[in-house]
Amino acid sequence: MPLLGLLPRRAWAALLSQLLRPPCASCTGAVRCQSQVAEAVLTSQLKAHQEKPNFIIKIPKGTRDLSPQHMVVREKILDLVISCFKRHGAKGMDTPAFELKETLTEKYGEDSGLMYDLKDQGGELLSLRYDLTVPFARYLAMNKVKKMKRYHVGKVWRRESPSIVQGRYREFCQCDFDIAGQFDPMIPDAECLKIICEILSGLQLGDFLIKVNDRRIVDGMFAACGVPESKFRAICSSIDKLDKMAWKDVRHEMVAKKGLAPEVADRIGDYVQCHGGVSLVEQMFQDPRLSQNKQALEGLEDLKLLFEYLTLFGIAEKISFDLSLARGLDYYTGVIYEAVLLQTPTQAGEEPLNVGSVAAGGRYDGLVGMFDPKGHKVPCVGLSIGVERIFYIVEQRMKTKGEKVRTTETQVFVATPQKNFLQERLKLITELWDAGIKAEMLYKNNPKLLTQLHYCESTGIPLVVIIGEQELKEGIIKIRSVASREEVAIKRENLVAEIQKRLSES
């Protein structure tokens, strides 16, 4: 067995003890089943690893733990995003965290090398999902779904160099909205851009701009400039880096690394520096090169129609036709877009935030057909919200302003000033829980009243109900406002109604 040769000498004892265990129920005689041997080998390797000196407890590179404070902010962001998706009629769905490797292969162009592959498990080669779009397309094809409006919130994994300071991770959450089905041109596309505007405006992240282009215009531009068709996707991937690299560096990559002729690169440079509104679309109709390309003209026609709908939605001023936008993923076929936050002057003590795009998407009409045995296509358009980057921005701003985050939603604390009142507190808190009121108490038989009140102040609990000997005799309960420290006595049977009234008024 080749695995045995990999074990360090000190792990042999652990391995032998594993192998000397009685055979499992499915084994016969002295023959050991493969699963038991494999388990023994892996256990021994793990023990050897754990015996290494100077072991440091850490999380994997490019990942993060989310504290309760982080989760409060994150959930507020996700609630706003999901409520917007639902407002536009989307249904929720989910897919496995990993897919068959062949499902994901050749869908992402040059980025395919960033997928996390899993070792052979039960005879299947698997990879962690790279995005939520390809699994959605697989779902549509597998279930023969021709029309669907869905949203999906879930984690994805990319094996790239992380940049924690810019909200870039190897494991991160995506929030996707997609419209699948055959519809009249540009109506679903315009709605996707409207959704991005609604979400970014609702999050109050500052001014933003959504860059728009069309992959047919990009390909038409390449053809008009003299790029060989075999290099379209490679050059597209280079152009997609213009938001992170200067033009001279992108030009160098195209010429020196991808073999593009310098004069062809210079022609591309003339186009990718153009950006504007619908007037630029009209201008490109007159361009001597693009106007001769059928693909480019189709893309320009759709963009002209798109701007008409965006004007009706009242968001045309937030949209910029940008010829530098390429979206390097192979599956895009039509309109593409990317939302960026506009840099604003930083306040005193605030560092400039440069996080790149915070939302992106586009049309991918051919992706579902790649999974269908007969190649039947289902046109699709969608968007993805960059939650991690948005979370990073919100987190930094809260730090600058010194804002505190309350990590629980507890509304009422059950307290007592006396000993031996645990049973009464348990009865009282049960009554509150059963009425749907969020309540807490200290897990002590005889806590001090001052300790209980300090806990409420430190955690932001607004109300305290107090029960003691006197209250029990008189059939009353005291309600204390933590902020004002005012107390009132009410009848025990009116407790739930009084608390609900106070909470509704707050």
Annotated binding site: 131-133, 158, 174, 178, 327, 331-332
Beta bridge partners of 434: none
**Coil/strand/helix, residue 130:** coil
- Which two structure tokens, joined as six digits, stand for 371? 């999974």
Cα gap 151→230, rounded to integer Å: 35
Cα gap 414→430, rounded to integer Å: 10
Q: Return the H-helix or E-strand segment holding 173.
A: strand 171-180
Cα gap 172→388, rounded to integer Å: 7
Q: Return the H-helix or E-strand segment holding 238.
A: helix 232-239
Q: Return the H-helix or E-strand segment holding 414.
A: strand 412-415
Q: DSSP code of 324? A: T
Q: Give which of 201, 470, 211, 483 is closest to 326, Cα–Cα.
A: 211
Cα gap 271→323, rounded to integer Å: 6
State the maximum Cα–Cα separation within the chain, in Å, rounded to a whole number: 94
Q: Which residue numbers belong to the known binding site for L-histidine? A: 131-133, 158, 174, 178, 327, 331-332
- Which two structure tokens, joined as six digits, stand for 126? 């698997």
Phi and psi, residue 23, nearest 5°: -60, 155
**Which region holds residue 77: left if phi is over 0, alpha if psi is between -120 and 50, else beta?**
alpha
Q: Give which of 263, 181, 270 is closest to 221, Cα–Cα.
A: 270
Cα gap 431→500, rounded to integer Å: 13
Q: Give which of 421, 414, 412 is closest to 470, Cα–Cα.
A: 421
Place of tokens 């597209």: 236
User: Which strands form 171-180's sheet, in the order they lie side by side?
Assistant: 91-92, 148-157, 171-180, 380-385, 357-363, 335-341, 208-214, 319-322, 275-276
Question: How far is residue 295 from each of residues 153, 194, 361, measured CA to CA in Å?
Answer: 34, 26, 20
Cα gap 79→282, rounded to integer Å: 40
- Which two structure tokens, joined as six digits, stand for 319? 């949209």
- Which two structure tokens, joined as six digits, stand for 6? 């990999």
**Coil/strand/helix, residue 259:** coil
Cα gap 166→359, rounded to integer Å: 15
